Copies of this chain bind each other. A is one copy, B any other.
Amino acid sequence: MDDVPGSVGTSASFSLRLGQTIFSSASLLFMSLGVEFYSYTAFCYLVTIMGLAIPWSFTLAIVDGYSVLVKCPIRQPGILLIVVLGDWVLSTLILAAACSTASVVDLLIHSDGFHCPPKICSRYQISAAMAFLSWFLSMASSLFNLWLLPSL
């Protein structure tokens, strides 16, 4: 059985999870420190999804850290399948939230109907960018674990 880098219980996976947690938290913070995020459906959706993604990534980061410390990677196909499916569903939801947020921010900036204070608008933009980074890492985790799955 090969040790695929990035699969559950390796140090690469620990880094990926840590990155997901950091980017998701940054996205959530930049969005909720803006003053009126609850008046836009897309922004509320992003906050909800990030509220789901942060505990998931954080829990798996702790599991990975523990596995690295005791040098015993997790290799139960059942657990791996749950991790792959969870990552895949979460990455789809994060992508949807990031795209919605980005398109709404773009509309707010470029239309005449709204006025959006530049300071708040750039906060929204940073939040969307962080969400995209979080999506990318989450998808990478899912793919690495999916790669390992058939060999078990």
Instruction: Please report A residues at the B interface, Cβ cutoff 8 Å.
Output: 40-42, 45, 92, 95-97, 99-104, 106-107, 110-111, 113-114, 150
Is A42's CB under 8 angstroms from B107's CB?
A: yes
From the candidates B42, B92, B110, name the one contacting A103 in the complex (CB within 8 A). Answer: B42
A-B contact pairs, 25 of them (CB 8 A): A40-B107, A41-B103, A41-B106, A41-B107, A41-B110, A42-B103, A42-B106, A92-B95, A95-B95, A95-B96, A95-B99, A96-B96, A96-B99, A99-B99, A100-B100, A100-B102, A100-B103, A101-B103, A103-B104, A104-B104, A104-B107, A107-B107, A111-B113, A113-B113, A113-B114
A interface: dominant SS: helix
CB distance from A79 to the nearest CB of B (A): 20
State the 3 A-B residue pairs at the shortest beta-carbon distance, nearest first: A113-B113, A100-B103, A42-B103
Bound together, the chains give a CA A102 to CA B102 distance in angstroms of 12
Bound together, the chains give a CA A108 to CA B131 distance in angstroms of 23
Between A42, A99, A101, the greatest number of chain B beta carbons within 10 A of the residue's beta carbon is seen for A99
Bound together, the chains give a CA A25 to CA B41 distance in angstroms of 28
Hey, which chain B residues are within 8 Å of A110, CB to CB?
A: 41
CB distance from A41 to the nearest CB of B (A): 5
Nearest opposing residue in chain B for A102, CB measure: B100
CB distance from A105 to the nearest CB of B (A): 10
Hey, which chain B residues are within 8 Å of A45, CB to CB?
A: 103
Hey, which chain B residues are within 8 Å of A101, CB to CB?
A: 103
